Structure 1
């Protein structure tokens, strides 16, 4: 994700002044609302990195800000790189909302070189307890026997998902260096409704600090959205606490926080990046696990190819289904006016079905 950084300073220095004065408006490819042109509205101008950050910021800001989406909702954000025009939009904004935890590898460099005197940046995951990410799953199958631990320990909130449990194995068994793509941390905190609430609260605090005259409205908006997320969290807890099984196989290791929150065990085919190709031994390990535990559904995701998941499903005679990591919205999602909560409810139904097969 950082392969472009050596070039950014040279490229940016060459076009930066131009991008600040005339970067122009690109056609919006946003998830829920079109981008509103700039400071002419007189509102707070917010740039949000990718879809969940856009949704959370929009909910807190309400009609007090224009919230723009930097990474188009139909684009997989792990590999996205900002253009000089994108950098210009960030410089012109009042607030930049990003997830952090290594998800947006470009943020640190942009903020370090920013000359904006008004830009405030909020790392929505700041203060959350982050997990170490799964490695390249050379030993995928071996670590997944934590299924038995999940079955034996059903208190609902104290489980270690595969990514967390595998960390201990990783520490003791693997001395070689793995490329985690996110600095070793799992950034996918937004997929746990409980943690999403904390991200919303961090955004609320940042907007209040930026525009304290609107404190009451920001708090009212945040409270209303947090109540919806609390209901979502409760629905997840009730639906998943007594399922027949506790493990699920997914395309990449995005669901560690969701698994930990609700006492499940994710079995990812690949690591933190959906574009990461699993090794042959990782594929073999997942197939072995799936057969031994009679897994009947292999989850794939939107925005990336489902070929690997389909290959494993065919090998074991299972079906495939979507488990959406909400890193963006597909054109179909947008056409159906889906949002974070709606997609998370679809994820819940898919999980509930698979875990009760």
Structure 2
């Protein structure tokens, strides 16, 4: 029996929605007695919307915890629900570029908020170059052929070249939250006071988390940490850290790069290699075994944002002083 791909099924639903005109006409009044229907690309953004929107929002994340947003296609059910959504909060994932124009064709009244608005974006980590005792070790392709050394240029700073994990920095989440607050107020002005109050409480919690992280990391002498997938760049930038990435653009390191990563881990007294559940831990486990360290999982796509950043901080800082 021929299997039907999820993406094809979702596209079929999308075409059906267009054909039968399920979505409400542009400019139609929003019934105030129901929660606003909000979609986000990833789970942490859904958490932020829930904190600010309260009982005035019903939020769904396209990519669930444990799923890889870089290789995701919406389900037919999600596509059908998007045809009646009030707001979509995007963050720069490739699936948004592929699907949002199609969704907008079925739901012209849906507002789209880019959570990265007013945030200075950083380039994705370029081909990893590691200074170690032996010199320089470049990331290599699976066939062992090394990439050329490459520093980001202005031409590289296009949409695809920028790091989209902006939510890993609490101060940046405050900025994102302000945009979410304002978007919700525009959709439901009669709830403006509630949205502002919810945002103020959320911002205060973020300020407290930021202060807690800074205090915890202040005595840490080694400011580098090793990750499999470079998802923590904004966190590192905010707190004066450097993440060393094991993989680059979805590719595991070749033999030469792996040896360089092991040397770098030893030189920087790395004891923990951080992984996330969306990716294979194989290369991280090889490095950890070579340095006598361990692999720990921390998920940047988890729903409990505060617990996730506290766990990350503890893993980088090491055991707390008694």
> Normalised by the size of structure 1, how large is the TM-score?
0.72
Change (3 A) 1:10 1:301: closer
Provide the C-alpha distance between the structure 2 equivalents of 1:14 and 1:46, rounded to a whole number of angstroms: 22
Structure 2 counterpart of 1:92: 84
- Within 5 A, what are the aligned runs for 1:104-115? 104-110=96-102, 113-115=104-106
Is the Cα contact below 8 Å between 1:15 and 1:84 reproduced in 2? no
Q: Deviations over 1:223-245 (max 9, x none)?
A: 11111111101111111122121
Provide the rounded CA distance (Å) in 2 between the counterparts of 1:311 and 1:105.
Answer: 35
2:288–2:295: 8 Å Cα contact kept in structure 1? yes
Answering whether residue 108 of structure 2 is matched by residue 117 of structure 1, we say: yes
Match of 2:310 among 345, 351, 355: 345
Q: Secondary structure at the match of 1:70?
A: strand
* SS class of match (1:122): strand
Q: How far apart are the structure 2 equivalents of 1:318 and 1:182? A: 36
Report the alpha carbon displacement of residue 60 of structure 1 after superposing the two structures with TM. 0.7
Q: For structure 2, list consecutive stretches of 5 or more residues without a partner in the other structure.
A: 24-30, 136-148
**Which residue of the other structure, out of 319, 333, 356, is the alignment partner of 2:294?**
319
- Counterparts of 1:224-263 in structure 2, within 5 Å, are 224-263=201-240
Q: Which among 18, 41, 44 is matched to residue 52 of structure 1?
A: 44
Asked if the contact 1:241/1:262 (under 8 Å) is kept, the reply is no
2:17 paired residue number: 16
RMSD: 3.3
- CA shift in 2, pair 1:233/1:107, >3 Å: farther
User: How far 1:348 sits from its partner (Å)?
Assistant: 1.5
Counterpart in the other structure of 1:151 = none
Per the alignment, residue 290 of structure 1 pairs with 265
Larger Rg: 2
1:184 equivalent in alignment to 2:158: no
Q: Which runs of 5+ in 1 are unaligned?
A: 23-38, 146-168, 330-338
Label 1:234 to 1:198 Cα distance change in 2 as closer, same or farther (>3 A): same
Change (3 A) 1:340 1:94: same
1:184 and 1:54 map into 2 onto residues whose CA distance is: 24
2:277 alignment counterpart: 302
Query: Contact 1:20–1:89 (CA<8 Å) still a contact in 2?
Result: no
309 and 181 in structure 1: CA distance in 2 versus 1, 3 angstrom threshold: farther
| More displaced 10-residue stretch of structure 1: 251-260 or 276-285 | 276-285
**SS of residue paired to 2:116:** coil
Provide the secondary structure at the position in 1 that maps to 2:160.
coil
Against the structure 1 CA distance between its residues 303 and 7, is the aligned structure 2 distance closer, same or farther, given a 3 Å change threshold?
closer
Q: Which runs of 4+ in 1 moved over 6 A?
A: 6-10
Between stretches 229-238 and 88-97, larger displacement belongs to 88-97
Whether the 8 Å CA contact 1:76–1:328 is kept in 2: the answer is no
User: Are 1:71 and 2:55 matched, yes or no?
Assistant: no
1: CA distance, partners of 2:122 / 2:232: 11
Select between 65-74 and 210-219 the one with higher mean Cα deviation. 65-74
Cα gap change, 1:13/1:313 in structure 2, threshold over 3 Å: closer, same or farther? closer
When normalised by structure 2's length, the TM-score is: 0.79
**Counterparts of residues 131-210 of structure 1 (less than 5 Å):** 131-137=122-128, 139-141=129-131, 170-171=150-151, 183-210=160-187
CA distance in 1, matches of 2:8, 2:309: 38
Distance 1:206 1:316, change over 3 A: same
